[in-house]
């Protein structure tokens, strides 16, 4: 009887470790997605050599074909933004060791390319030094036009942070789009996006919308409904939302340029 009780205790302990003893990164991953549900890739061409990567404050669907994220998702909160403002930026760009070398971008791919290593989940959203270090993985980067990255896109990021402070929390999904047949690759490896998007969803009002910009110099930007963007991207970004909700447009603020870029 004692042996049975001890064996049962050991089995229950092992089950507890398997369920709850994993890293905080894995445990926190679903919270980055609305209702804990990740986007679904609808375009079969995008699904080849993909891998989900979970970090403390963002989650990435990485493509080994483009060697960029297809999306990077965040659950932004007012408190996290305030914590992030207390930290100094430390550039620590690095390849992603979770990915095999043939599928990941390397620092040398971006070297002298004329493109910035553009964050999808930005440094200024990260509330801890560890999360900040994690967001400098190249798995969270796309080749971005420098003018776009440092002005218009940074202004969009800043506007979304301000909206988070005002509303309390937002779910944000950012990523690249590869539209057209005249696409380039850095070092013959990393695909350069034609466009970028940032989806903002407010769970309090149950409404969202997306910033949509070309990956080029200038200040032109467009607001799309989630439904519009999904048709272009071939991705169901919020599988549990009805199409009627996705067709609505949240009033998104105009980009606000900040002195730093992320």
Domains of the chain: 24-246 (3.40.570.10)
**pLDDT tens-digit readout, 11-32:** 444 443 344 333 333 334 579 9
Q: Looking at residues 250-259, what average pLDDT do you find?
A: 80
Q: Specify the pLDDT at position 257.
A: 54
Is the four-CA dihedral 79, 80, 83, 84 of positive or negative sign? Answer: negative
Give the chain's mean pLDDT.
90
Structure tokens at 243: 């199409």
C-alpha to C-alpha distances, 251 to 81, 209, 242, nearest whole angstrom: 21, 8, 19
145-167: average pLDDT? 98
Cα dist from 52 to 29, 67, 227, whole Å: 10, 13, 23
Using alpha carbons only, how large is the chain's radius of gyration in Å?
19
Cα–Cα distances in angstroms (integers) from residue 50 to residues 35, 86, 103, in the given order: 22, 35, 9
Spatial separation of the C-alpha atoms in residues 58 and 96, rounded to whole Å: 14
Rounded Cα–Cα distance for residues 108 and 77 (Å): 35
Percentage of the chain modeled with pLDDT above 90: 86
pLDDT tens by residue, 94-132: 999 999 999 999 999 999 999 999 999 999 999 999 999
């Amino acid at each position: 009887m004692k042996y049975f009780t001890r064996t049962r205790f050991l089995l229950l302990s092992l089950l507890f470790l398997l369920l709850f003893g994993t890293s905080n990164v894995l445990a926190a991953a679903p919270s980055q997605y609305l209702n804990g549900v990740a986007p679904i890739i609808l375009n079969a061409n995008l699904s080849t050599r993909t891998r989900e990567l979970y970090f403390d404050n963002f989650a990435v669907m990485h493509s080994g074909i483009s060697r960029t994220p297809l999306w990077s998702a965040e659950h932004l909160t007012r408190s996290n933004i305030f914590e992030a403002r207390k930290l100094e930026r430390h550039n620590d760009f690095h390849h992603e060791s979770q990915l095999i070398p043939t599928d990941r971008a390397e620092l040398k791919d971006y070297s002298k390319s004329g493109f910035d290593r553009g964050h999808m989940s930005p440094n200024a959203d990260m509330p801890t030094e560890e999360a900040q270090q994690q967001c400098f993985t190249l798995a969270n980067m796309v080749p971005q036009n420098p003018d776009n990255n440092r002005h218009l896109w940074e202004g969009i990021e800043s506007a979304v942070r301000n909206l988070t402070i005002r509303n309390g929390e937002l779910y944000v999904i950012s990523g690249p789009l590869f539209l057209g047949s005249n696409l380039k690759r850095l070092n013959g490896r990393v695909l350069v996006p034609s466009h970028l998007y940032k989806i903002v969803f407010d769970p309090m009002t149950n409404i969202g919308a997306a910033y949509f910009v070309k990956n080029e110099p200038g200040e032109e930007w467009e607001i799309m409904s989630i439904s519009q963007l999904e048709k272009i991207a071939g991705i169901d970004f919020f599988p549990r939302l009805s199409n009627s909700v996705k067709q609505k447009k949240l009033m998104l603020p105009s980009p606000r340029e900040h002195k730093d870029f992320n």
